[in-house]
Chain A
């Protein structure tokens, strides 16, 4: 489903990613762990084209969507590539001026409107599409348990609810691979549970996910694969059992020891 080959990224003189290689099968969940500054978030941002990797390859379903030397193409190409992925941000980044439902349907509506403008669909088809988007939005909100909030605005929701909306918003575009960038790090401890439950509930043979997280218990319970990153490389990769119960690298051992001492 997803192959990342030798991905590198520098910010100025700092090498943030020093050649990341891993692959992911459909329906698999990989949790990326590691201390701050290890390059976890940058990896996700490169995969989602928020940063342009310096070299390497990103392959989705056999299609090369990024390779060394690629320049960021025009908007339409970029859109195609981006839509293979969804990204849930640490800070939710909901659109404050839009209702919850509209937050979820905006991207779909905008794309349909653009199609109508280009005469690819008629006005009638546009209104059918917009109704369909609404139905789909409501269905997804039901999945994350927020049906009663469709008309509310983001500021009226708790952090946990906002993050559930953000997850729904990403799901609405049916990405092949859904990425989470520390989805619970901005939340009060008592609110992390509801978000983690929603993510766990997404586990299915169809949903492929990459989750950057500091929640080790969660990673252990939900992920099929754990990647431990340190200083821009994958220090160790394996099943949760391998990584948590029998880590091989000294760095992994230290990281886990420190983590479990604190928690």
Chain B
């Protein structure tokens, strides 16, 4: 029983890292994704092409590889390397921002042209139209796809272990080698299940908030 208590504390400490990566990634990537969207939808062609190439690279390569590159490459180039946690958060935030940007783009393109035109003939400027008319409609449209990504992110946070960061799965594998117990592996799975359960409830609430109109 005492051992179980200790294991719980160790896993909780590990899971705290997962939660931190999760929260900071969302905090940065949600607005950053919008910036990428504006880039890829820009009328200035070079910027649009550049954004699209970046989307292709970031979505087309493994997140694990991106974590390695951000953590190890600066040192080789003589630039001071970031801490493990900072590197992981940069990699996650950029990766998710590019995924989100494509979801945003789909959402924005899904708003009928008539909505923009109605705003224009009412004398509103383009930024005013975007902020007051389009944004909320986009938000409603993208909630389901965003929810999927958010739940994936919860599980992806365990990738942080590849550069030695002690997150929950690394903690449980360490417990496996010493003192040689297996159940922390399953136990850590329960942490993810519970946390994702809470996240899902939150996401459902957001979805419900948007259901007041069609």
A22 interfacial contact with B, CB 8 Å: no
Contacting pair A110 B214 (CB below 8 A): no
A80: nearest chain-B partner, CB-CB: B123
Contacting pair A50 B117 (CB below 8 A): yes
- Chain B residues 110 to 140 lying within 8 A of chain A, measured CB to CB, are 112, 114-115, 117-126, 128, 132-133, 136-137, 140
CA of A114 to CA of B128 in the docked complex: distance in angstroms?
Answer: 9
Contacting pair A96 B121 (CB below 8 A): no
Contacting pair A155 B123 (CB below 8 A): no
Contacting pair B118 A95 (CB below 8 A): yes
Question: How many A-B pairs fall under 8 Å by CB?
Answer: 63
A79 interfacial contact with B, CB 8 Å: yes
Q: Encode contact with A along B177-214: 1 for CB under 8 Å, 0 otherwise.
A: 00000000000000000000000000000000000111
How many A residues, CB 8 Å from partner?
A: 29
CA of A24 to CA of B11 in the docked complex: distance in angstroms?
Answer: 78
Taking CB atoms, residues of chain B closer than 8 Å to A153 are 212-214
**Distance (Å) between the CB of A175 and the closest chain B CB?**
9
Taking CB atoms, residues of chain B closer than 8 Å to A248 are none
Taking CB atoms, residues of chain B closer than 8 Å to A89 are 114, 117-118
Contacting pair B121 A50 (CB below 8 A): yes
A175: nearest chain-B partner, CB-CB: B121
CA of A169 to CA of B118 in the docked complex: distance in angstroms?
Answer: 10
* Other-chain residue from A91, A106, A154 in contact with B114 (beta carbon distance below 8 A): A91
B118: nearest chain-A partner, CB-CB: A93
CA of A6 to CA of B155 in the docked complex: distance in angstroms?
Answer: 64
How many B residues, CB 8 Å from partner?
A: 22
Q: Which of B114, B119, B121, B213 has the most CB of A within 10 A?
A: B121
Contacting pair B118 A155 (CB below 8 A): no
Contacting pair A110 B124 (CB below 8 A): yes
A75 interfacial contact with B, CB 8 Å: yes
**Distance (Å) between the CB of A99 and the closest chain B CB?**
9
Taking CB atoms, residues of chain B closer than 8 Å to A35 are none
CA of A173 to CA of B137 in the docked complex: distance in angstroms?
Answer: 24
Contacting pair B213 A111 (CB below 8 A): no
* Other-chain residue from A79, A91, A94, A95 in contact with B123 (beta carbon distance below 8 A): A79
Contact A97 to B123, CB < 8 A, known contacts A89-B114, A89-B118: no
**Distance (Å) between the CB of A44 and the closest chain B CB?**
10
Taking CB atoms, residues of chain A closer than 8 Å to B118 are 89, 93-95
Q: Which of B112, B136, B212, B213 has the most CB of A within 10 A?
A: B213
Contacting pair A75 B214 (CB below 8 A): no
Q: Encode contact with B along A53-84: 1 for CB under 8 Å, 0 otherwise.
A: 00000000000000000000001001100110
B contact set with A: CB distance below 8 Å: 112, 114-115, 117-126, 128, 132-133, 136-137, 140, 212-214
Q: Pull 11 A–B residue pairs with CB atoms less than 8 Å apart, ordered by A.
A: A50-B121, A78-B125, A85-B121, A89-B117, A95-B133, A96-B214, A97-B136, A106-B132, A106-B133, A107-B124, A170-B122
Extra contacts, 16 of them, besides A78-B125, A153-B212 (Cβ < 8 A), are: A50-B117, A50-B120, A75-B125, A79-B125, A89-B114, A89-B117, A93-B114, A93-B115, A96-B137, A97-B137, A107-B122, A107-B123, A110-B124, A114-B128, A153-B214, A169-B122
Q: Shortest 7 CB-CB distances between A and B: which pairs?
A: A107-B122, A93-B114, A93-B118, A155-B214, A75-B125, A87-B121, A79-B123
